[in-house]
Structure 1
Amino acid sequence: MTLLSPTPRGLLTGDRYRAELDDGRELYLDGQRIADPASHPAFRPAADELARLLDLQHEPEHRELLTWKDPESGLRLARAYQPPTTLEELRVQRRSAEFWHAQALGQQGRSPAFMASIAVGVYDFRHRLATADPRFGANAEAWYRYCAQNDLVLSHALGDPQIDRSASPLDDPDLALRVLEENERGIVVRGAKQLTTLAPLAHEVLVYLSASFTDNRAEKFVVWFALPLNAPGLITLAREPLGTAPWGHGHPIGARYDEQDAMLFFDDVLVPWERVFLLRDAALAREGLGRINAWSAYVGHVRYRERLRTLLATATLLAESIGVDSFRNIQEDLGRLAGYAELTGYFLDAAENRGAPTDAGLFAPGDTFASRVWSAEVAGEAVDIVRRIGASGLLMQPSPGDLAHPRLRPHLERYMRGRGTDVERKSRLFRLAWELTGDGFGQRQDLYEYVHRGDLARNRITVYHRHDQSEARARLLALLDAEPAAEPRTDDQEAPA
């Protein structure tokens, strides 16, 4: 197991990233242990795409946008790891994230740009963690610097297993990750976490409270820590890959951007004290959840805006390819999708304008909780617009083998072409749209948008409780309490009997 290294290595290259994934981790796919995910067919396309993006940091034309000079180490580090102290630094971080997510078409929910911002949040919260135990604040700062100065690709684990959500872990401890014991070396944890996106392709996982445990008796379930994914006793179980198919259809989106989701099993795993950030303090954990995610919520909106722009461009190309782009109902749908993309930009602007310094001296974006609820609410409609425009054409497109067949090709050119486009280009466009909205990868992305921001009903209730109604209520109550004005009588009005 790799512990915190005193020798920073600086920015990742693609080659170094791939090599570092071959670290002896216990990773399983379809009942088989995978020794090196970067070279396995199920993981290699996504690993190669991440490697390509990491290499962009080293290109001179992107250097100032994607990297910054760390005054402590003297190294250039990934921009996403820079703790912003001013509004301008926050905006530079946004522009860097916009570049990254545009390269990935908004498909990488757990991109390094996203997860690095959570490490920044842990760093920002270090002083509050130190109030529980001075070691925890120091650990949080050391871990942040280790991740930043080595440009680590991170994952995080929040959710508990779906065994019996009607029961309490106080009755069945397997329902949640728990601390078994403390000793001179650290804590020993047992349990599982789902759904840990990007775990098969990450260096480290950050584990923290899922906001479920407020009962004083449940303190053994309250724990924050980080571990390398090759820690002894840590088992990673990957789900079935979504970016491949047996019939030769092109899957350019799914193959590159299937981030992989995983279950993590903690088989009595020792977490060294230097990697523990919080223990048995539910109140501090609840406070910290909002604090450490301030920057990741902001970067998440950057990613979501790019996804909406990708869906809009896809829908527009579909409409143009079959000659429906001038239809009033189609333009209305495209306008709705364009509006979603515009509004997401407004939310980012609002987060910046509401930003403020934290007690640790960083500059944090303002609260955008309501916009996260909105994003989950419109995510399905955004996908449905693409489906409505593509309609049955999303289902029936020729494969590369069909296009190459001399008996089929004349019929395909005659009956499956588009307006001003040949059958081959049209089929590639429609298959790409199917990937984004309909096949296993598309359905996973759609579900991700709905669930990754948390329970929608609970979040709506939170928005209700957070919203300040005091002024509007006061005006209405004053109106209700006012003495009704007497209506003037005219001479021809009769007095009531």
Structure 2
Amino acid sequence: MTRPEPSPALAHEGLLTGERYRASLADGRELYLDGKRITDPAGHPAFRPAVDELARQLDLQHDPDHRSLLTWKDPESGLRLARGYQPPRTLEELRTQRRSAEFWHAESLGQHGRSPAFMASIAVGVHDFRHRLEQARPGAGANADAWYRHCATHDLVLSHALGDPQIDRSADPVDDPDLALRVVEENDRGVVVRGAKQLTTLAPLAHEVLVYLSASFTQRRGERFVVWFALPLNTPGLITLCREPLGSAPWGHSHPVGARFDEQDAMLFFDDVTVPWDRVFLLRDGLLAREGLARINAWSAYIGHVRYRERLRALLATATLVAESIGVDGFRNVQEDLGRLAGYAELTELLLDAAEARARVTDSGLLAPGDTAAGRVWSAEIAGEAVDILRRIGASGLLMQPTENDLAHPRLRPHLDRYMRGRDTGAEEKSRLFRLAWELTGDSFGQRQHLYEYVHRGDLTRNRINLFKRYDQSGPRERIRRLLGTPVPAPAPVQEDRA
């Protein structure tokens, strides 16, 4: 099996343009939507708005007003590269990466969970972990470093695949190998893998996928299930199956947020796919895989908080505008809800500050943010309430708003202007505002985003347990033991009053 031919649009090193990004997706990948093979995602109506949005953001890297924030000069290649690919070595470089990610995610209202800014930081993590990979398997660290540099110098849009298919989570893959991706053969060209991965967000719109193990991995699985690698998404035998698009509807509502920011989620099927040896980073070492999971995601967890803060800010701004538009912004209970949402956004900001304050130098010399595990648990816990606040304020108005065609109809428009206006807000402006609120909270896109917030950080129960197990209680426990070990003095006798 030969290697896939790269898209001619990716032949040039340096920053991508939107035009080259669009062209690069027509690379012969085996991509399916609704039972049909898609040959040009950028030109297909189901994907075009999301591709155009990513292309617009990529073009911003070339804008003189944003170039210094969104890009950096790589001393090794001499090229200007995307800021997300910069390995931070100082606190200022880490904070600049944060400011760059804030710009990216503000542009998408915090809706792009797998933005290029996020995924580039995982490539930085793989680069950082290269020494440990090399110690475990000679050549693997060099492979990881070469892959990182390939992605950075070509400004690749990446996806990653961790989860196993939901077949029977109570069973063990050792007994039923189809439950997890596995190595079925090793030969002089590389390893051959068979199986599936879910849920690969952004895969239809990305160039490459990084495959590694999720935190649910257990040692019981056996060595053949332990493998880290990266491949172009047009690799022979790699099949991408898309879910139903969330940004379109046939009845007038344009769903602009869902159309622009629907990243797509996909199943990846590996039909005996050959992974060349120079794309294999880790093989048959479960302990190292568990160690590496936290290491390579140190920066992405930090950038994930940047993204979530922007989502909370978008929910807060929308909720405030909705409250003002219908005259409930002065109600005490509404102000309390808005204050709660503002508190969530501010606490997320503080979590980012704490990650910087606890930053540490890794064994490869990079500055990694401090542990964000507790912040990730908290974010998943409050995600539902953040959405519910906007729902409570908008109430039934979220369910019934006129479409653009309704607003243009001469028979309907007088009634809409009279009965569907707001306080100091016309029917047209109010309907668009409420439809935005519905997209963020209630329609298929909004529900997907809400589910994403709950699941993408991993199993919440497992994360809480892991947080408990590694939290240092030694000091308080010792003080309490000393307190319990000290005899309690007998109370002084009560003097009887004989008066």
Write out per-residue CA displacement over residues 455-488 of structure 1, whole angstroms, 9 at most, x where no aligned residue: 0000011111111111111111111111111222
Counterpart residue number, 1:389: 393
Q: After TM superposition, give the deviation of residue 32 of structure 1 in Å.
A: 0.4
Counterpart residue number, 1:261: 265
Give the residue type in structure 2 aligned to 1:172: D
Q: After TM superposition, give the deviation of residue 20 of structure 1 in Å.
A: 0.4
Write out per-residue CA displacement over residues 139-190 of structure 1, whole angstroms, 9 at most, x where no aligned residue: 0000000000000000000000001111111111000000000000000000
RMSD of aligned alpha carbons: 1.4
| Cα distance change of structure 1 residues 211 and 3 upon mapping to structure 2, 3 Å threshold | farther
- Name the SS for the 2:66 alignment partner: helix
Counterpart residue number, 2:176: 172
1:353 to 354, 357, 379: 357
Q: What pairs with 1:2-81 in structure 2 (closer than 5 Å)?
A: 2=5, 9-81=13-85
Q: What pairs with 1:78-97 in structure 2 (closer than 5 Å)?
A: 78-97=82-101
Q: After TM superposition, give the deviation of residue 211 of structure 1 in Å.
A: 3.2
Q: What pairs with 1:249-398 in structure 2 (closer than 5 Å)?
A: 249-398=253-402
In 2, Cα distance between the equivalents of 1:111 and 1:490? 73
8 Å CA contact 1:8–1:146 kept in 2: the answer is no
Identity fraction in percent: 78
Q: After TM superposition, give the deviation of residue 402 of structure 1 in Å.
A: 1.1
1:142 to 128, 140, 146: 146
- Name the SS for the 2:139 alignment partner: helix
Counterpart residue number, 2:186: 182
In 2, Cα distance between the equivalents of 1:475 and 1:493? 40
In 1, Cα distance between the equivalents of 2:12 and 2:476? 55
- Name the SS for the 1:105 alignment partner: coil
Write out per-residue CA displacement over residues 201-244 of structure 1, whole angstroms, 9 at most, x where no aligned residue: 00000000123343366110000000000000000000000000
8 Å CA contact 2:215–2:458 kept in 1: the answer is no
In 1, Cα distance between the equivalents of 2:305 and 2:116? 15
In 1, Cα distance between the equivalents of 2:35 and 2:44? 14
Counterpart residue number, 2:447: 443
Q: After TM superposition, give the deviation of residue 453 of structure 1 in Å.
A: 0.1
Deviating more after overlay: 476-485 vs 192-201 = 476-485
In 1, Cα distance between the equivalents of 2:243 and 2:442? 18
| Cα distance change of structure 1 residues 405 and 127 upon mapping to structure 2, 3 Å threshold | same
Q: After TM superposition, give the deviation of residue 491 of structure 1 in Å.
A: 3.8
In 2, Cα distance between the equivalents of 1:281 and 1:164? 24
Give the residue type in structure 1 aligned to 2:118: F
In 2, Cα distance between the equivalents of 1:112 and 1:99? 12
Q: After TM superposition, give the deviation of residue 271 of structure 1 in Å.
A: 0.4
Counterpart residue number, 2:420: 416
Write out per-residue CA displacement over residues 372-398 of structure 1, whole angstroms, 9 at most, x where no aligned residue: 000000000000000000000000001
Give the residue type in structure 1 aligned to 2:121: S
1:98 to 97, 102, 106: 102
- Name the SS for the 1:61 alignment partner: coil
The answer as to 2:469 corresponding to 1:468 is: no
- Gaps of at least 5 residues in structure 1 are none
8 Å CA contact 1:238–1:261 kept in 2: the answer is yes
In 1, Cα distance between the equivalents of 2:494 and 2:177? 79
- Name the SS for the 1:271 alignment partner: strand
8 Å CA contact 1:4–1:146 kept in 2: the answer is no
8 Å CA contact 2:73–2:79 kept in 1: the answer is yes
Deviating more after overlay: 198-207 vs 1-10 = 1-10
In 1, Cα distance between the equivalents of 2:249 and 2:6? 39
In 1, Cα distance between the equivalents of 2:424 and 2:11? 58
**TM-score normalised by L of structure 2:** 0.97
2:229 to 225, 230, 239: 225
In 2, Cα distance between the equivalents of 1:156 and 1:33? 22
**TM-score normalised by L of structure 1:** 0.98
Counterpart residue number, 1:211: 215
In 2, Cα distance between the equivalents of 1:4 and 1:266? 21
In 2, Cα distance between the equivalents of 1:390 and 1:213? 42
In 1, Cα distance between the equivalents of 2:370 and 2:165? 32
In 1, Cα distance between the equivalents of 2:105 and 2:458? 22
1:119 to 111, 123, 126: 123
Q: How many residues align?
A: 494
In 2, Cα distance between the equivalents of 1:81 and 1:431? 36
8 Å CA contact 2:238–2:269 kept in 1: the answer is yes
In 1, Cα distance between the equivalents of 2:105 and 2:219? 40
The answer as to 2:199 corresponding to 1:195 is: yes
Give the residue type in structure 2 aligned to 1:443: Q
